[in-house]
Amino acid sequence: MTILNREHNKRFVGLIKGAVALVLFLSVSSSAALAGDAQKGKEIYDKRCWWCHGGQGAGDGPAAERLNPPPRDFTSGVYKWKTTPFDEMAPTDNDFARMIKGGMTHNSIAGWTGMNGTSMPGWADMLSDKDVADLTAYIRQFAELGVDAIFTDFPDLAVAALRNSQK
């Protein structure tokens, strides 16, 4: 009976290791697959976002004067809806995805999928996950929330990080 238990335990441990490896592989590959392309994000932004947020992301697009509250000024890098700690300026990519796709409603209004209390619509029905990742990469550039903003005091680290990201 002990031999059967040992064999069962080995199989069980092997199964658990395989499951953990699979989960890690899928999480790494899915995040790598959704790495944003800022140039493609600019194309989406120019088509869908500049009307409210403006050409330079300052929240001063042609529709801005008619919106209350006004559209987010991306150049400030200040975001109300984020899951990162208060002392961290940049939202996560998932935070951006929730803001862009919608579903940020707390007091749901029937039929409204945008951000509660704003004119920001939800774009989940028009943008794919890849589109949202591309748009996020582009929006981050307005406030320099990428490598340059993180490593301004450490230029050698910025160069190393940029080289690693281009591999």
All structural domains of the chain? 34-165 (1.10.760.10)
Give 8-17 pLDDT, tens digit per residue: 566 665 666 6
Q: Where are the beta strands (DSSP E) in 37-140?
A: none
> Structure pTM?
0.64
What is the C-alpha to C-alpha distance for residues 60 and 49, in angstroms, rounded to an integer? 11
- For residue 116, pLDDT over 70 is answered with yes
The two structure tokens encoding residue 3: 């031999």
d(CA 55, CA 34): 25
- Beta-carbon contacts of residue 36 (< 8 Å; ≥ 6 apart): 93, 133, 134, 135, 136, 137, 138
